[in-house]
Amino acid sequence: MKFLDEAKIFLKSGDGGPGSLSFRREKYVEYGGPDGGNGGRGGDIVFEAVDSLNTLIDFRYQQHFKAERGHHGMGRDRSGAAGETVTIKVPVGTQVLDEDKETLLADLTEVGQTLTILRGGDGGFGNAHYKSSTNRAPRRADPGWPGEERWVWLRLKLIADAGLVGLPNAGKSTFLSAVSRARPKVADYPFTTLYPHLGVIRNDDADFVLADIPGLIEGAHQGAGLGDRFLGHVERCGVLLHLVDGTQEDPAAAWRTVRHELEAYGDVLADKAEVLALNKTDALDEETIRTRKQALAEASGREVHAISGISGRGVKDVLRLLQQHIRSYRAAEAEAEAARRQAVDDLAASWHDD
């Protein structure tokens, strides 16, 4: 299945049904009076996050979604039926943005989370609604209120616990295939990975999800190579695993290139915890590994781990370190969510006291 992480779609909720202009006509009932029912309410447009999808490819073939209009009212005080709601199923991690592509309308991050983005128009009143002691035979029936319509952008940001970053051919896809059952394409040319992959990793009886994104090159934030559009898929990660190809002459320069692109993308990635690893050590002798680890450590100011996705060297230790960062990140997120809910409860309590 082709991966698609961005789509523009048109939405329109249903118009309200018109009210009925009707009078009771029945034998032996001299003054039947008005009996026109109200029109039905138009259908809503609702987004729902589901776990059975992982791409927005469906929206390449259908870009227009329109809810059913409300049914018209009828005589004998019969109200029209409401229009059917249109529920649009999207992958977990989908953001809904306004047409300007900047205003965030919703962020669907949990399975089953829903958002009613457009509400259907109200149905019009029938003439029975307007009868009164002074207006016994009203001849007024209202049309339904129109529904809402708008263009929106859908943007998918994968839900992963850790993300893989690095230059093209740093060994990210090989590493992912070695530690999980994911099978991304692996080849000896740049930009083998053209779209993100997810792999579920089980290590020491704990599971976490690792995301592999296409490699970055210098100038990616300005559109060079595949650009930085896929960096959004690691925004939700708790930690980044930065792989540097140990077979190149200057691993420090490779690290600087990727760090510059992360910082140009924004603080959301530049400030994340980072585990730095010198990869492809199976192709190097111990003296070269030691020299290049030292150069990379001096340039980055971080601990450098020597690993190999092919031979498995150092992989377990790196996975354990990722798990530690993920646990810390989850704990901080839970604490922040608890504080947010407490603030909401305190605010509600203060309004109640007032």
- The answer to whether 308 is annotated as binding is yes
Q: Is 349 annotated as a binding residue?
A: no
Q: What is the pLDDT of residue 343?
A: 84
Q: Is 173 one of the annotated binding-site residues?
A: yes
Q: Cβ distance 244 to 278 under 8 Å? A: yes
Tokens of 254: 């490779």
- In DSSP notation, 152-186 reads EEEEE----SEEEE-STTSSHHHHHHHHSS-----
Question: For the residues 29-34, what does the mean pLDDT come to?
Answer: 83
Q: Is residue 133 part of an annotated ligand binding site?
A: no
Give 191's DSSP letter: T
H helix intervals, the chain: 172-179, 251-265, 267-270, 286-300, 315-353
Give yes or no for a contact between 242 and 255, defined as CB atoms under 8 angstroms apart: yes
Question: 41-56: per-residue pLDDT in tens?
Answer: 999 999 999 988 878 8
Report yes or no: 306 and 281 within 8 Å, Cβ to Cβ.
Answer: yes
**Is pLDDT at 331 greater than 80 in this prediction?**
yes
Q: 182 pLDDT exceeds 80?
A: no
Spans of all domains in the chain: 1-156, 162-334
Q: Is the pLDDT of residue 76 over 80?
A: yes
Q: Is 171 assigned a ligand-binding role in the annotation? A: yes
Q: Which residues contact 174 (CB under 8 A, 6 or more apart)?
A: 186, 309, 310
Which pLDDT score, from 0 to 100, does residue 189 have? 60
Distance between CA atoms of 317 and 303, rounded to whole angstroms? 13
In the numeric block, the tokens 């059952």 are attached to 181
Distance CA 18, CA 31 (A): 25
194 is in an annotated binding site: yes
- State the Cα–Cα distance between residues 313 and 175, nearest whole angstrom: 11
269 marked ligand binding residue = no
**pLDDT (tens digit per residue) in 236-254:** 888 999 999 988 888 899 8
Residue 204 DSSP class:
T
- pLDDT tens column, 111-167: 999 999 999 999 999 999 999 989 988 999 999 999 999 999 999 888 788 888 888
Q: What is the pTM of this model?
A: 0.76
- Mean pLDDT across 173-194: 75
Lookup result for tokens 């309590």:
349
Does 247 carry a binding-site annotation?
no
Q: Kindly report the average pLDDT of the chain as a whole number.
A: 87
Among 88-97, 130-139, 225-234, 269-278, the minimum mean pLDDT is found in 225-234
Residue ranges with strand state E in 213-312: 239-245, 273-279, 304-306
Q: What percent of the chain clears pLDDT 90, i.e. is strictly above it?
A: 40
Query: In the chain, what's the furthest Cα-to-Cα distance?
Result: 109
Question: Does 135 carry a binding-site annotation?
Answer: no
CATH architecture of the domain 162-334 equals: 3-Layer(aba) Sandwich (3.40)
Helix/strand/coil for 244: strand
**166 in a labelled binding site:** yes
Neighbouring residues of 338: CB distance < 8 A, sequence distance ≥ 6 = none
Please tell us whether the domain made up of 1-156 is placed in CATH 2.70.210.12: yes
Instruction: Give residue 139's pLDDT.
Output: 92
Q: Is 190 annotated as a binding residue?
A: no
The whole-number pLDDT of residue 191 equals 64
Q: Which residue has the higher pLDDT, 134 or 5?
A: 134
On whether 159 is known to bind a ligand per the annotation, the reply is no
Q: Residue 226: is its pLDDT beyond 80? A: no
66 known member of a binding site: no
223 is in an annotated binding site: no
pLDDT tens digit sequence for 265-281: 877 788 888 999 999 99
* CA-wise closest residue to 187 among 205, 204, 174, 201: 174
Residue 310, annotated as binding a ligand? yes
Mean pLDDT of 1-19: 87
pLDDT at 323 over 50: yes
Residue 172 annotated in ligand binding = yes
Task: For the beta carbon of residue 334, count every other beta carbon within 10 angstroms.
Answer: 10
